[in-house]
Amino acid sequence: MQAKNSTGKQKTGSRARSSFTETGRRAQIVAAAIDVIAEVGYHRASFAKIAERAGLSSTGMISYHFDGRDDLMREVVAEVMRVAEGYVRPRIEAHESYAGRLRASIEGNLDLFAEYPNHLSAITEILSNLRGGDPGMVAFLETTEANLAIQVEQIRKAQRAGEFCDFDPWVMMRAIRAAIDDVVRRASHEPALDVRAAGRELADLFDRATRSTS
């Protein structure tokens, strides 16, 4: 009985180590894909370039961990969204006022670009090349719309509380999102652009546009 238990534990440990190694390898490949896509673009980001950046001996290692290019691209999108959520959300939740949360959201999104320029450049490249019916695009759009709905409801609450003035919350959130995305697109082609300063400018602009003066 003692020998069986020892063997069972050894196998479990081996599986755990194998799983840990595979997870680490997937993360390594995704990180390399992000950098390559940001540097050379979506269409030129071949498995060969990604494998070279990741320090892999062959592209077969990528094919082993991902079911083709689309699968890898979906994982890149998921990773960028995970990083963005972890970076911006704590900054928003650190504020109690609606105005403070709105400012933190705008500045946080552009500070995110300053910290992770390749992440946002890569996702911009991917999403501009995915087909409308692609699972990666569908998942991203669904998540984006869900987040937008939450933000719109937060604006409505701010209006009911008297902190924000009267305007269409949906139109305002679309305008905010479009302004942030435009700065990101410009910064992707102008590395010298001060995106943090742009974030402060946008935050000031939308603070004046939303804040109640009564």
* CA distance readout (Å), 195 to 88, 160, 174, 183: 15, 32, 20, 7
Question: Which tens digit of pLDDT belongs to each residue from 137-183?
Answer: 677 777 778 888 999 999 999 999 999 999 999 999 999 999 998 99
Which residues have CB under 8 Å from 39's CB, separation 6+? 118
pLDDT tens sequence across 96-139: 999 999 999 999 999 999 999 999 888 888 877 866 666 666 77
65-88 pLDDT, tens digit per residue, is 998 888 898 899 889 989 999 999
For residue 134, what are the contacts with CB-CB under 8 A and spacing of at least 6? 70
Domains, the chain, ordered by start: 68-210 (1.10.357.10)
pLDDT at 126: 84
